[in-house]
Chains A and B, each alone.
Chain A
């Protein structure tokens, strides 16, 4: 007597048979038939033809039969909307049944019938059920509101169900509260702007009470909802934390992780000096470790989250290294995650253990895992200086195994080790060179070539080695080609005499025979450099490289802070903000960690300030590979290079700057080098005169580029607006705007005489204002202004006037006098007229400053309806003296890092996030950091004005 018999009927007349059985008089037969129908449905057979017959069975007292029919209805009502109406009456009747189980079942099922026509009939029964005396019915009805909202959002709002739902948050039954929160959260997700879950200390208190008594699933919803709340001060944050901590001991891992999220978020508000802060840190470790003994799927999600937590607060798990040791029967996805965390936790104290483990892993069978383990050894070397030597010798041991992929990985990481510890481990180069032939992966080949080029003077046969690569130049990947080009140029600069032919060969391969613009451009740049000023070439190409740091693979602090708010969600698994991947690009609200606001102001000491970006000793962070131009700069240019513009070069502006600054300055002094007559110094002979033509054409392209970027045009100028209407000034109408052109600010005025008498003796004066704006010259109106005449005047301004903070900040109060009277008006000037021309910050400075400015000073804005690409945005802003320092592509989003300086010397740093593809749909995300946070709002407005015009 099992149900499998329902699966066996596959004959042709099946539907007919079932139809007959469904209409049978015998109850038992009917029920069997419905069961068969359901069974067919579950395996995906189409039994929709039986709709009327099944619905006929609905009016029954048998609960099981009723449930089965309901199941069927939910599945097929959509395809048979007219028929489904037949069922409505039974539903309405069931909603008034004395048995709450039936009432709840009816309201639950009705909500699952996704047919517009039915929803109208649903409203009244639902309203009743939301106020039902039985909490079981109320909690079911709460979920039903969410279902209905999914089908017809407008209806739910019109019927006022949302308000009823909000009231349910204060229900006496915790289960009802939990479901109301769950329903509201789901509705809120499709309406990010609506303020559905408007949390205040009272509602928080109710949620916390319900938290202790509701089911585990309800606890998850409530905790996730709590995480969206921002406590008003550290006391409130602490009291919420205290009430949430017991959840860390829950058996359900999802509850634990949601509780961790709340704690991690609110901890941000607690002062580190607090005893409680330390207690909390201690309490967080055990539950996180416990998650790792659960099923592998749970482990995976937990590990992805722990990865974030470890980056944000390494102190939590610093003693728990061993639990991340990999077991050989862990699934591969768990192994890889554990490895990642092991490196993050590696420190001087535990490095010996970690290395021993990593070495063990490097001999396992799984190729991906082994590769990652080898890479991990390299990362340890970079992270923990004391271990570098041991790491290198371990890597050498591994190279001796001659296992192909192990060798290749080892070479890639050794390259990084050289970068981190120059002039320390070069003795191993000989061993590396032995394995040259076995390298078949581009990354390993590129790394090896880099090493050969970089240490050409110590490798006797460097030219032979590089020449051997050159034979198959066109078959190599771009990465290898670029590297080879650079390496040979380096070699040439180091050993000019023997390698002229080689360098010529590679330059012509790169510039003439290649279709790759990156390669060609790089080829031209080298060629140009070598031919014009070999000394400069040496300085540029062989410049000292910035040290790399282990921060390279850390998540950016701003993104990390955002992700911490998403612990336990899909965002945390993908390490991307939800806006980057949530279906349909629904406007996702950006979350950010709450700023620390102490209830006791004096307790706030500078030491206790932000934790967002821990002080980092390494000077800079190099963006991950991928951006070839960036790569070029990373490898070949260091900060202390010759011309000042070069020092400021960045990944994105790099190529342009290199030409605009480096080449320009080479060309500008009127040096005749373009003609090629100036080649006198020995190595320059490498460029034959016959090559003048390609260089010329190539360069003209490049020069076009520079002129486009030049800062010739002034800032954006708004159209004139009426500042002083004639009505208020006895017939004098003043309209005007502000401009900034080549470093000078002026106020463009139009004075119109709408009175009946002539106006003379104009004068103007400004009140003290926030940035000390003052007229630089008197107001010059040369002739008397006769009636109905107007005159245009440009009044130059300076910023050396006296300063007084205005409200709003950019308010300017002006007095204008003429022969009739004195008139006063005030106007708001756009902040971008104060952006100065030298507002481009050095890249290192930028990074240091960004980290240095406390997180509280960060302000986030959205710029909507700005359908521009990153390039367009950048050039538009540059016109108004907002300079792009670097551009990166992070998880499919373009990130622009920009700086600007105000006339009074305030620096504003900006991070602009652009979603490529459909910029019209997703707003630009602008984060501003500034030591004077009050200007942020106005800078944002300036951004908006510039970008939208």
Chain B
């Protein structure tokens, strides 16, 4: 099971350690640092590292490394999932998962880690239960605590931990009862030089924000549930109902949570909402090149495409770029990463945004072998690109009438255009 946890920042300082069994010396992290050095880029550190006596399984989140030490055969996915859960919990408690936030709340962090794992076995990882055990910090509460001497730690048994629905605590009460769902779809795609789709799929999630009193039993149905053939469910969903009726039936956790995530695979055609016209060329034997890209709407279902950003990792030999955007602004980092970022904004079909200009290359160096890939971000409000539509939400078990709402948004995930 999980033996120890070290939190390490990007400059390689171990700023927190927690041991669930016997103490493992910090020096075990040297193996990690070694791997980190070899990997050059922080994102490329291998997640599983073996050392003579331990295994180090790590994740990289929000510029922090969560490095866990294990000694026996443990499913690595279990460890990685758990580490992400720890990071999620910090995010949930402190609003951000950063070194500063963790240091500011070190006692709570320690209490949380103690509650989340017992002797390496997960104990309480549901945010609802944790919040009952250890109250999240708020300015008001810390002021109150310091005056009254009360503490962050709850002194009742977290009821949810015992029931068959461990994700929900008993006795929830709201004056305004609300249930909101966000259908968020991300398009992952690779578009080749000529503009045809090499690969595309939609990763969707339905995030819920449920503030309902008592023990509501909800069922959510879709207009077109057949779209969902590959789904991962929150444990609260009754799988049998889904299998037989294609209805999501569940007693929800309290607060924010991810109800389902789904994938609409490439077998169904995925609509690509933007196209890019590009002309990037480097001339042989002259220290300059041309750069010209234009973005336009494609299958956008009549909605506005906004929040467009284009990121390009330019080849190393590029010294500088001299470009003119027709809209938005661009930055180029000529020193370290050679990243060009163009913040476009939204597309107006009458005048398509473009970015044109010259590229200065290191003189004498051979011209780059290939053109860089363009990474594109965008957002479309009020549209689920897969066509998924919520039909209705029914509530059983409670008498009141809740406010209900569904919001759709489509974004670019890993959306890359080869040039």
Contacts and interface: CB of A to CB of B under 8 A. Distances in A.
Interface of A: 1-4, 6-7, 27-28, 31, 35, 38-39, 42-44, 62-65, 67-68, 71, 75, 78, 99-101, 108, 111-112, 114, 134-136, 140, 143-144, 146-147, 150, 173-175, 179, 182-183, 186, 189, 213, 215-217, 220, 224, 246, 249-254, 256-258, 286-287, 289-290, 293, 295-298, 300-302, 322-323, 325, 327-329, 331-333, 353, 357, 360, 363-365, 401, 403, 568-571, 573-574, 578, 581-583
B72 A186 contact: yes
B18 A569 contact: no
B335 interface: no
B15 interface: yes
Interface stretch (B117-125, B175-183, B344-352): B117-125
A205 B307 CA distance: 53
Contacts of B78: 217, 220, 254
B370 A39 contact: no
Given A143-B118, A217-B78, A251-B258, A2 B105 contact: yes
A63 B153 contact: yes
Contacts of A144: 119
Interface residues of B, number: 102
Interface string B34-78: 000001000110111010010101111000000000011111111
A63 B151 contact: yes
B110 A71 contact: yes
Contacts of B143: 1
B184 to A, nearest CB: 13
A360 B370 CA distance: 9
Contacts of B162: 134-136, 173, 175
B172 interface: no
A582 B103 contact: no
B188 interface: yes
Q: Determine the main DSSP class of A at the interface with B.
A: helix
A4 B98 CA distance: 13
Contact of A293 (B46, B59, B104, B263): B263
Contact of B233 (A67, A75, A173, A250): A250
Contact of B46 (A146, A213, A333): A333
A258 B44 CA distance: 26
B369 interface: yes
B75 A568 contact: yes
B254 interface: no
Given A42-B106, A143-B118, A217-B125, 16 more contacts: A35-B107, A42-B17, A63-B151, A67-B111, A67-B114, A75-B19, A174-B164, A186-B1, A217-B121, A224-B75, A251-B258, A293-B188, A296-B47, A328-B373, A570-B55, A583-B53
Closest 3 CB pairs of A and B: A286-B230, A64-B151, A64-B153
Contacts of A183: 121
B271 to A, nearest CB: 17
Contact of A254 (B81, B106, B231): B81
A215 B166 contact: yes
A67 B111 CA distance: 8
B16 interface: yes
B48 A573 contact: yes
Contact of A216 (B1, B154, B235, B239): B235
Given A2-B104, A215-B122, A570-B55, A301 B77 contact: yes
Contacts of B139: 1
A26 to B, nearest CB: 9
B273 to A, nearest CB: 19
Contacts of B235: 215-216, 250-251
A573 B76 contact: yes
B369 A401 contact: yes
28 contacts: A7-B103, A28-B149, A31-B151, A62-B151, A65-B151, A67-B114, A99-B155, A101-B155, A101-B156, A101-B157, A112-B20, A147-B21, A175-B166, A251-B232, A254-B77, A257-B77, A295-B84, A296-B47, A297-B60, A297-B80, A327-B416, A328-B373, A331-B43, A331-B44, A360-B192, A363-B370, A570-B74, A583-B72
Interface of B: 1, 14-23, 26, 39, 43-44, 46-48, 50, 53, 55, 57-60, 71-78, 80-82, 84, 100, 103-108, 110-111, 114, 118-119, 121-122, 125-126, 139, 142-143, 146, 149, 151-158, 161-162, 164, 166, 188, 190, 192, 198-199, 201, 203, 229-235, 239, 243, 258, 260-261, 263, 265-266, 313, 315-316, 369-370, 373, 375, 414, 416, 418
B79 to A, nearest CB: 8
B149 A64 contact: no
Contact of A3 (B75, B107, B369, B418): B107
B5 to A, nearest CB: 11
B104 A3 contact: yes
A136 B104 contact: no
A333 B49 CA distance: 12
B44 A39 contact: no
Given A39-B106, A253-B81, A360-B418, A44 B199 contact: no
Contacts of A258: 75
Contacts of B76: 301, 568-570, 573
Contacts of A297: 47, 57-60, 80
Contacts of A64: 111, 151-153
A417 to B, nearest CB: 24
A789 to B, nearest CB: 64
A183 B120 CA distance: 11
A574 B46 CA distance: 12
A114 B22 contact: yes
B149 A322 contact: no
A7 B59 CA distance: 26
B83 to A, nearest CB: 8
A297 B56 CA distance: 12
B84 A582 contact: no
Contact of B121 (A182, A295, A322): A182
A290 B414 contact: no
B239 A78 contact: no
A300 B46 contact: yes
Nearest to A330: B414
Contacts of A323: 199, 201, 266
Nearest to B164: A213
Contact of A290 (B118, B154, B230, B234): B230
B263 A246 contact: no
Nearest to B148: A28
Given A297-B47, A570-B48, A290 B232 contact: yes
Contacts of A286: 229-230, 263, 265
Contact of A582 (B46, B73, B152): B73
B234 A251 contact: yes
B106 A6 contact: yes
Contact of A136 (B1, B20, B157): B157
Contacts of B149: 27-28
Contact of B80 (A38, A301, A333): A301
A196 to B, nearest CB: 15
Given A295-B59, A328-B373, A363-B370, A111 B414 contact: no
B206 to A, nearest CB: 12
Contact of B190 (A62, A254, A325, A401): A325
For B16, B199, B232, the residue with the greatest tally of chain A CB atoms inside 10 Å of its CB is B232
Nearest to A79: B23
Given A289-B263, A363-B369, A364-B370, A583 B77 contact: no
Contacts of A146: 119, 121
A458 to B, nearest CB: 32
B21 A1 contact: no
A44 B105 contact: no
Contacts of B418: 360
A156 B370 CA distance: 65
B69 to A, nearest CB: 12
Contacts of A290: 230, 232, 261, 263
A47 to B, nearest CB: 14
A414 B268 CA distance: 39
